[in-house]
Amino acid sequence: MSLAFDDYGRPYIILRDQGQKKRMKGLEAYKSNILAAKAVANTLSSSLGPKGMDKMLVSPDGDVSVTNDGATIVEKMEIQHPTAKLLVELSQSQDAEIGDGTTGVVVLAGKLLEQALTLLDKGIHPLKISDGFDRACDVAIKHLETISEEIDIQANEHEALIQAACTALGSKVVSKRKRELGKIAVTAVLDVADLARRDVNLDLIKIQTKTGGSVEDTRLISGILIDKDMSHPQMPKEVKDAKICLLTCPFEPPKPKTKHNINISSADDYKKLYLQEQQYFVDMVKLVKNSGANIALCQWGFDDEANHLLLQNELPAVRWVSGTDVELIAMATGARIIPRFQEITPEKLGKAGCVKEVQFGTSNERMLVIENCQCTKAVTILIRGGSQMIVDEAKRSIHDAICVIRNLIKDNRIVYGGGSAELACAIQVLQYADEVSSVEQYAIRSFADALEGIPCCLADNCGLNPITSVAQAKALQLKENNPRIGIDCMELGTIDMKEQKIYETLSSKKQQIQLATQVVKMILKIDDVIAPDDY
C-alpha cells in the first residue's frame, strides 16, 4: 500500500494488486469482523456444559477426532478469516494459562460481540462500547473476588480437589467415570506437588495412552512408563537397584563426516575391517559396564551385532527412547544425558529402585516401568480405551482435570458453577450501570446481558427452557442474596450449586471474563480491512 497525490494535491491510496483485493471501512468492517467471530462462537456454544454436544472433525488426511474441548475444536477447524482466528488464539491462551474453560471463554466472547453489534446499530461509537465493556469487566472481576470462597484442599482426604476434578470431567466423554478419573488426577498432582511453595511441575506427570481395554482400566503408575521393551527378548525383564546410563549416541561404529571409500582387495582385509568394527562395539559395551551401569537406555538404535554383545555382557538395553522420555528420566533419576561413550562416568548414572517390563492384555505389547526414582517422584497416568478417539479425548479430559487441581493448589479460592457466578456478576454490573450517567451505561448493560447468555446457553444445551430457567435463578439470587443459585443442568432437584458441589477455580473464571473482554475490544478497534477478493 502506498500514498500518492493527484494534480491538485489530493492524497489517494494505491494498493498492490488492487484489482484482486477488496476494502471494507467503517460500519461494514465492524459488522464483517463481528459476524465472522460470532460464527466460530456459535459453533462452540452447543458444546458448553455437562450435556454439551461433541463435534466430529475430519482432517485433510482423513483422521477423525471427536471432542467437545473448545481449544481442540477451534484449532482443528482450519479457520481462514483473520478476525475469527483471534478467537482461536483466545481459546489457546485460556488453555495455556488455565487449562480449562476453553469453550466458555469463546462463547462469552461471542455473546459480547452479539451485544456490540446491537449497540453499533444504535449508533454508539465502538470506542464508547469498548470503554463500557472495560468498566463492566472490572466490576465483574471485583464481584467475583467478593463472592469467592476459600476451600481446605487437605480436608476429608482431598475431597474438595476431587469434586473440582469431577466438575471439569463432567462435560467430557469420560463423565461416567469422572469420580475414578478425578481421584487418579488428584493423586498424580499431589504426588509431584510442592505444597510448601504451592507449586506443581506438570512435566513430572506423564500421560501415556494405549488402545485396548476400556476407560475403567485407566490407572496411575508410580514411576515413568515408556512405550518400549528390552532390545533383546532374552534380556532380564526386571532390573533391581537400577543404575541407568542415558545415551544420546548410537551403538554403532563412527562414520566420517566426509565422503569416503574403503577398498577391500582380499579376504584378510575384510576380516580386519570386521574385527575393527567388532572392537568398536566391545569398547562401547565395556565403557558402559565399567561405569557400574546395569541398564542402558539409548535414544538411537543399534544393530543386531551390538544387541548380541549387550546380551553376552549381561547388560539390558532399550533402544529408540524418545527425546522427551530421555529428559523426563534424567529429571526423575538424577541421570546426566551422555552424548559420547568416552564421557561415561559413575557420577552421570541415574538411580531407580526398579526397572521392569510389563505386558498388557493378550497381545504381545510391552512397556517399561521405571519405579522409585532417586530425585523426584515422577508419575505416569496410563489411559486405556476401546479406540484411538476415546483414548485421545480421555487424555484431553484428564489434562483439563490436572490443570484445575494445579490451579486450586496455587490459589484455593473457588466460585460456584452452573452459570451462578455469571448471573451474580450480571446483577452487580446492572446495579453499577444505574450509577453511570454517560453513554457507556448502554455498553455496561449489554455486558450484563452477555454474561446472562452463559446460563442461557447451559440451560438450552440441557433441554431446559433458557428464558424460564435464567429468570427463575436470577429472581432467587436477588430475593435470597445468594450468589450460588444457578441452572440445574443435571436435574438433581436443587439449583443451589453448593449443594450440587459444582464449582470451578476463581482464577479460571476471572481469566475467562478478562480474555473475552480484551479480544472483543481488539475486534471493535478494527475499522479498515484490506483483504483478497475471496475474503
Question: What are 389-400's pLDDT values in tens digits?
Answer: 888 888 888 888
- What CA–CA distance (Å, rounded) separates 246 from 92? 35
Phi, psi angle pair for 38, to nearest 5°: -65, -35
The pLDDT, as a whole number, for residue 446 is: 92
| Model pTM score | 0.81
Beta strand pairing status for 223-226 and 219-221? unpaired
What stretch of H or E contains 206? strand 205-211
470: which 3 cell numbers?
A: 435464567
Task: Please give the grid coordinates belonging to residue 143.
Answer: 464481584
Q: Are 216 and 394 in contact (CB under 8 A)?
A: no
Catalytically active residues, by annotation: 69, 102-103, 400
Q: What is the three-class DSSP state of 370?
A: strand
CA 208 to chain CA mean position, Å = 15
Measured distance CA(108)–CA(101) in Å, rounded: 11
Closest CA to 264 of 274, 256, 252, 251: 274
Residue 140 in grid coordinates? 465483574
Residues in CB range of 459: below 8 A, 6 or more apart:
419, 465, 466, 469, 470, 487, 489
As to burial, measured by CB atoms within 10 angstroms (0-12 exposed, 13-18 middle, 19+ buried), residue 46 is middle
Q: Could you tell me which of 400, 402, 382, 392 has the C-alpha nearest to residue 216?
A: 382
Would you say 474 and 427 are in contact if contact means Cβ atoms under 8 Å apart?
A: yes
Question: Could you tell me which residues are beta bridge partners of residue 210?
Answer: 384
What local confidence, expressed as pLDDT, does residue 151 receive? 85
Residues of the chain with pLDDT under 50: none
Nearest to 486 by CA among 50, 47, 41: 50
What values do phi and psi take at 77, rounded to 5? -75, -15
Packing angle, helices 420-433 and 466-480, rounded to 10: 70
Q: Which residues pair with 198 in a beta bridge?
A: none
Cβ atoms within 10 A of the Cβ of 141, count? 18
Contact (CB, 8 A) for 369 and 381: no
Q: Which three cell numbers, joined as nine digits, stand for 244?
A: 541407568
Grid cell of 72 as nine digits: 481442540
Q: How far is it, in rounded angstroms, from Cα 293 to Cα 344?
A: 10
Count of all residues that appear for the chain in the document: 535
Torsion of CA 478, 481, 482, 483, to 10 degrees: 70
SS3 call for 64? strand
- What distance in Å separates the CA atoms of residue 500 and residue 422, rounded to the nearest whole number? 17
CA end-to-end distance (rounded Å), the chain: 18
Angstrom distance (rounded) from CA 457 to CA 114 = 14
Q: Which pLDDT score, from 0 to 100, does residue 393 have?
A: 86
Alpha helices in 255-380 (DSSP H): 267-290, 304-312, 323-333
Secondary structure of 87-131 in HEC code, one letter for each residue: HHHHHHHHHHHCCCCHHHHHHHHHHHHHHHHHHHHCCCCHHHHHH
- Looking at residue 90, its pLDDT comes to 86
Give the Cα separation of 242 and 426 in Å (integer).
59
* CA–CA gap between residue 486 and residue 472 (Å, rounded): 9
Query: Residue 494: beta bridge partners?
Result: none
Continuous H helices in 334-383: none
Q: Is 48 helix (H, G, I), strand (E, B) or coil?
A: coil
DSSP assignment letter at 438 = S
